[in-house]
A = this chain, B = another copy of it.
Amino acid sequence: MAAIAEESSRTRTDPKAIETVIGALASRFGNRVVTSLAVRQQHAHTQTWIENQPPDAVVFPQTADDVQEIVKLCAAHRVPVISFGAGTSLEGHVNAPFGGICIAFRDMNRVVAVHASDLDCTVEPGITRKQLNEHLRDQGLFFPIDPGADASIGGMAATRCSGTNAVRYGTMKDNVLALKVVLANGEMITTARRAKKSSAGYDLTRLLVGSEGTLGVITGITLKLAGIPEAIAAGICPFASVEAACNAAILTIQSGIPVARIELLDALQVKACNAYSKLTLPETPMLFVEFHGSDANVKEQSEQFGDIVRELGGGPFDWATKPEDRTRLWQARHDAYWAGRALRPGVQAFATDVCVPISWLAECVVETQRDLAATGLVAPILGHVGDGNFHVTLLVDMADADEVARAKALHSRLIARALAMDGTCTGEHGVGQGKMQYLAAEHGTAALDAMRAVKRALDPDNIMNPGKIVALG
């Protein structure tokens, strides 16, 4: 709370300033400015255990110029600006702890250009990854980053998101070529050209990717695309233990097999998926895998992976050869979060993620399972284990103060465990409000001060999504 109190001394939450800005927005944008409590709460509400802190108004711009106008207006009155994409974030990224104006990108969801021959495209921030892939399919192209949820591309860039395909295709940092951004001073910049690589100055693209709206508002994104693979093979494979499943993932990566997806579900998560998605999987740790390539190459990868599975006593391997079987399989994986929540209907999901060097993965997962068992908490585990990244979805009765306290303590131990293994407090969810308290332990105060210096340099009045990532003194 000290941090928040300090921030508020820099960040105007003066009701008169807010009133002035809302008035000006309303006369400029008419009914594209909404102040009803329901809409405001909806635009602060995400899949998070953190309390809802609504903005003072939600505005729906239609162009980058609209966004620039909104930011200039807010800047003139030192009113906070919070960007909103599809509302799938997990760490309170879109909450408005100091009030302010939410810029919701619902109406900015166009594909601006597809350069098929350059394998890139430019989009507005509000488009979701499924909408984009729908648009691209006819051209034999796809955008591979897949966090499960149908997130907006702007939000995915803002949180440096990754997901199931990252083990092969990288994260948003690897797949954003350039950003169009409105800065706190009202200037609109483009961070890079469409060239595939550049050494022309500081990498503003990568500085903005993962900055969660705290350094600027993203109004356009140029993305790398991939060709839809000639062949795709997917399947699932049970293991006797989480260690064996993790070790299969580790060996797969170390062998250089270019697996496109390699996902761990622990026994509890499999049980949840069986119930939710009406599957009949053996309720034991499983790997879901997918290989992309030519027919011959996919066959070769599958065989190499089969050898590893046998070596570790896993199997039998169950191939989903038909596209509809594959779709059902990945739908179940994507619904795993909802399946997990259905294990304890009505309680809150407290979803977190950590990422460790892959040699530490098995130990980190197993220790976490032991910790869960000892603490008496229910939390399915699933992970993008090819990257050493896994999720723990704590199912917590928020009305039970003791249970909440146990969940928070376990969460802190999980992060301490990951950091002790040279890992990170978040592999892909981002910092938002939920992970701010762990950044000093992860980066050290000097590095955190460097982040603060960058934040102050680009947003001296702290109007860009204040109260996220780093608190300013």
Measured CB to CB, the residues of A under 8 A from B are 115, 117-120, 159-162, 166, 170-171, 173-174, 183, 187-204, 206-207, 209-211, 215, 226-227, 229, 250, 253-256, 294, 296-297, 300, 355-359, 387-389, 418-419, 422-431, 435, 438-439, 442-444, 446-451, 453-458, 469-470
Nearest neighbor of A174 in chain B, beta-carbon distance: B174
- Among all A-B residue pairs, the 9 with the closest Cβ atoms: A206-B206, A457-B457, A187-B446, A198-B424, A189-B447, A195-B355, A453-B457, A117-B359, A118-B357
Q: Is the CB–CB distance between A207 and B198 below 8 Å?
A: no
Kindly identify which residue among B227, B446, B451, B454 contacts A256, using a CB–CB cutoff of 8 Å. B227
Output the residue of A196, A227, A427, A454 with the most chain B CB within 10 A.
A196
A243 to chain B, nearest CB (A): 15
Q: Is the CB–CB distance between B453 and A458 below 8 Å?
A: yes
Residues of the B chain whose Cβ atoms lie less than 8 Å from the Cβ of A227: 254-256
Residues of the B chain whose Cβ atoms lie less than 8 Å from the Cβ of A120: 357
Copies of this protein in the complex: 2
Output the residue of A120, A201, A229, A458 with the most chain B CB within 10 A.
A201
Given A187-B446, A253-B119, decide whether A210 and B199 contact each other with a Cβ distance below 8 A: yes
User: Can you list 29 A-B contacts with CB-CB less than 8 angstroms, sorted by A residue number?
Assistant: A159-B199, A162-B197, A162-B199, A173-B203, A187-B449, A189-B447, A191-B443, A195-B357, A195-B418, A195-B422, A195-B427, A196-B357, A198-B355, A198-B426, A200-B426, A200-B431, A200-B435, A200-B439, A201-B210, A201-B443, A202-B211, A202-B469, A203-B209, A203-B210, A204-B450, A227-B256, A229-B256, A450-B458, A453-B458
Q: Is the CB–CB distance between A427 and B206 below 8 Å?
A: no
A227 to chain B, nearest CB (A): 4
Given A173-B203, A207-B202, A449-B187, decide whether A358 and B117 contact each other with a Cβ distance below 8 A: yes
Complexed CA–CA distance, A291 and B16 (Å): 65
Q: Is the CB–CB distance between A199 and B446 below 8 Å?
A: no
Q: Is the CB–CB distance between B166 and A197 below 8 Å?
A: yes
Q: Is the CB–CB distance between B196 and A207 below 8 Å?
A: no
Beyond contacts A160-B199, A190-B447: 10 other A-B pairs, Cβ-Cβ < 8 A, are A115-B357, A118-B358, A119-B254, A194-B357, A200-B431, A201-B470, A202-B215, A203-B210, A297-B300, A457-B457
